[in-house]
A and B are shown apart, each in its own frame.
Chain A
Amino acid sequence: MSSCIGATLFAAVVVGTYALYRLDPWANRGNDSPTRSALDLQDQFSIQPQLIHYLQTSEIPIPLDVVRAIAVGLEDRIYVAGDRTVYRFGSDGAGEVVLHTDGEPTCLAIGFNRHVAPGTFYVGVGKAIEVFLPNGEPLAVWHGLSDKTVLTSIAVSENDIYAADAGERVVIRFNPQGEIAGQIGRTDPDREMPGFILPSAYFDVAIGPDGELYAVNPGARRIEEYTSDGMLEGFWGKAGTAVDAFFGCCNPAHMAILPDGRFVTSEKGIPRIKVYNGFGEFECVVAGPSELGVRDSATVDARLEKNTQVFDIAIDSQGRILVLDPNTKRIRIFESRQEK
C-alpha cells in the first residue's frame, strides 16, 4: 500500500513538474499555436514575387516634419509639399525650399511643358488654391470655393486646372485665370450621374496623355473617365481583397498615369501600389506592404500614429514611379525590372 502511495506521489510530482514546464505564460508558442486566434494578414501583406515587376532603385530623404504631397515638375524635378512649404529636389538629391504657403498644403500640381503656364505651382491650402510663379513668387490665391471644401488633389491639363474637392464631392475646373469654369461629377439622376462616393478625404484626379480627365471614385472602388464638360465616359475597377482588386471601403487613395497611358494606383489599408493597363486590366505590382516597409503587425499598432499608411505617388517622364513614404519621410523611386 505504501509503495503504491509512493509511486502515485512520484508520478504526481513528475507530471506536475512537466505541466509547469509546459506552461506558456508569455505566449512564446503563440505564433505557431494551432489555437492562435489572431487575424492572419500574411497572405495579403506578402505579395507573390512574380507579380512584382518593379524594383526600388533609390531613396531620397526629405528634411520636412510633415509630408503631404509629391509632384514632378519641369525637367523631372521632384517637389514635395509639407510643413507650409514646397520643397524641390535636384538630380543629386540635394534640395531647397522653393516657396512658402499660407497654411498647411494638402495637394500640389505643377504646370508641365504644354500647359499654358509651364512651371506654375498650384498648391491646395485649406479652402483655396495658391498659385506661384516658377521662381516661387506668389501669383494669386483662388478663392470662391465653398465652406465645405476639402482639397485633396490638383491636376493640370493643357488649358485647365482641375481640383478635387472631397467636401463638395466634385471636381472643379478652373481656367488659367482662376475662374471656375465648371463642376464635374455632381450627382445628377437626370444625366444618370451617380456622383462620387467619398467615405474619406481621399479623392484623386489625374490627366491622361491625351488630356482626358480621370478621377478616382474611392467609395465605388473604381476609376472614372470624364470629358472636360463633365460627361462620364467610362469607368473600371472592382472591389475585393485580391491583388487585382481595390481593397476595403474606399480605394485607391492615389492615382497617377504613366506616359503610355497606363494607370498606377496606391491603396491604403493594405498599402500596395499597382499598375493597370489603359483598359483597367491588372498588370503588375510596383510595391507591396513589405516593399513599402509596412508589416501587418504595424497596422494595428497605434502607438506611433502609423495607422494611416497612405502613399502618394507621382511619375516622371521616364516612367519612374516616385512614392512618398510618410513613415520614413523618404521618396522611394521604383523602376521597371524589364527596363533595368
Chain B
Amino acid sequence: MPNATQTKNRRGFLGDSMRVAGALATCSFFGYLAGRKGRNRELLWQIDPDKCMGCGNCATHCVLDISAVKAVQCFPMCGYCDICTGYFDVGYTELDTSAENQLCPTSAIVRTFIESKAGQRFYEYTIDPAKCIGCAKCVKGCALMNGSLYMQVMHDRCLGCNECSIAVACPTEAFCRVPAEAPYLMKRQAIPLVKKFSIR
C-alpha cells in the first residue's frame, strides 16, 4: 500500500511542521514578552515604608506562621531617645525593660545604653529579627516621634508567593515587586540621612 503510506507520511509531515511552527510562534511571542523590558530579573515582594500604616496585617496575613515581614531599625534616622515611643508601652509605669512596660509583645527590641551627653541619656534600639513577629506595633509607636522603625519583607524567609497574601490584605497597597538585585527599600526621609552617615 505505497499510496496509503505516502498519504500518512505527508499528513505526518504536515502535522509536524504545524507543531513546530506553533511552538516557534508561541516561543517567539513569549520571547518578545520577556525581551520587551530588557533584562528581566526575578522580582521580590517588598513594602514601601512610606505607604505602610502599621495596621498589623503583616503579622496575621502572611502564609507563614511567623510572618516574613519584620520591623527594622534605620539607625541614622533614630533619635536614640530615652523614652522611646516604639519601645515603651503607652501605659508604661517605669522606664525599665520589664515586659509590662514594653510595647513589643515578644520583647524583640533590645534597648542598649550608649552615652550620656548634655544631661541626655541615649539608648540604641535594635530589633532581634528572630523574635519579631511583624505586628508593626513598634512602627506605629515610633511614628509618633521619628518613625525610624519600619517594616520590611525579609528575603531569607519570604516564600515569594506569586500573589502575596499580605499584599492583598494591605489597606494602603504598600506592597510592591522590587528587582532581586535591590530587594530592600527605605523611607524617602531616611535616604539623605543614611547617605550622611555612610559618608562619615
Q: Give me the interface of A with B, judged by CB distance under 8 Å.
A: 24-27, 30, 33, 35-39, 41, 43-44, 169, 187, 194-200, 219-221, 239-241, 247-250, 269-270, 297, 299-303, 307
- A240 cross-chain contacts in B, Cβ below 8 A: 92
Q: Which of B91, B143, B165 has the most CB atoms of chain A within a 10 A radius of its CB?
A: B143
B72 at the interface (CB under 8 A from A): no
On whether A39 and B79 interact (CB within 8 A), knowing A187-B119, A300-B54, the answer reads: no
Q: Which of A196, A197, A199, A250 has the most CB atoms of chain B within a 10 A radius of its CB?
A: A199
* A108 CB, nearest partner CB in chain B, Å: 26
On whether A300 and B53 interact (CB within 8 A), knowing A38-B135, A199-B120, the answer reads: yes
B176 at the interface (CB under 8 A from A): no
Pick the residue among A36, A250, A297, A302 that contacts B60 (CB under 8 A): A36
* B62 CB, nearest partner CB in chain A, Å: 12
B44 at the interface (CB under 8 A from A): no
Cα of A332 to Cα of B199 in the assembled complex, Å: 43
Q: Which of A37, A300, A303 has the most CB atoms of chain B within a 10 A radius of its CB?
A: A300
Pick the residue among B53, B82, B137, B145 that contacts A37 (CB under 8 A): B137
- A200 cross-chain contacts in B, Cβ below 8 A: 79
- A301 cross-chain contacts in B, Cβ below 8 A: 51, 53, 172
Kindly report which residue of chain A lies nearest to residue B95, judged by CB atoms: A239
Contact residues of B between 85 and 123, Cβ < 8 Å to A:
85, 90-92, 103, 105, 118-120
* B121 CB, nearest partner CB in chain A, Å: 9
- B50 cross-chain contacts in A, Cβ below 8 A: 302-303
Contact residues of B between 132 and 188, Cβ < 8 Å to A:
133, 135-141, 143-145, 147, 165, 168-169, 171-172, 187
Contact A248 B145 (CB under 8 A): yes
- A249 cross-chain contacts in B, Cβ below 8 A: 79, 81-85, 145
Count of chain B residues near A, Cβ 8 A: 45
Interface string of B31-73 (1 = CB under 8 A from A): 0000000000000000001111111110111000000000000
Q: Which of A39, A43, A197 has the most CB atoms of chain B within a 10 A radius of its CB?
A: A39
Contact A302 B189 (CB under 8 A): yes
Kindly report which residue of chain A lies nearest to residue B171, judged by CB atoms: A27
* A32 CB, nearest partner CB in chain B, Å: 13
Cα of A25 to Cα of B51 in the assembled complex, Å: 19
- B172 cross-chain contacts in A, Cβ below 8 A: 301, 303
Q: Which of B59, B140, B187 has the most CB atoms of chain A within a 10 A radius of its CB?
A: B140
Contact B55 A307 (CB under 8 A): no
- A248 cross-chain contacts in B, Cβ below 8 A: 81, 83, 85, 144-145
Kindly report which residue of chain B lies nearest to residue A302, judged by CB atoms: B50
Kindly report which residue of chain B lies nearest to residue A246, judged by CB atoms: B83
In addition to A270-B144, A299-B143, 15 A-B residue pairs with Cβ atoms within 8 Å of each other are A25-B165, A25-B168, A39-B54, A39-B137, A187-B119, A198-B120, A199-B81, A219-B119, A248-B85, A248-B144, A297-B53, A300-B53, A300-B140, A303-B50, A307-B143
Q: List 27 A-B contacts (CB under 8 A).
A: A25-B165, A26-B169, A27-B55, A27-B169, A30-B57, A33-B60, A37-B135, A37-B136, A38-B54, A39-B135, A41-B140, A195-B119, A196-B119, A197-B118, A197-B119, A199-B120, A240-B92, A248-B144, A248-B145, A249-B83, A249-B145, A269-B85, A299-B140, A299-B144, A300-B52, A300-B147, A303-B51
- A220 cross-chain contacts in B, Cβ below 8 A: 119
On whether A44 and B79 interact (CB within 8 A), knowing A219-B119, A300-B54, A307-B147, the answer reads: no
Cα of A299 to Cα of B83 in the assembled complex, Å: 18
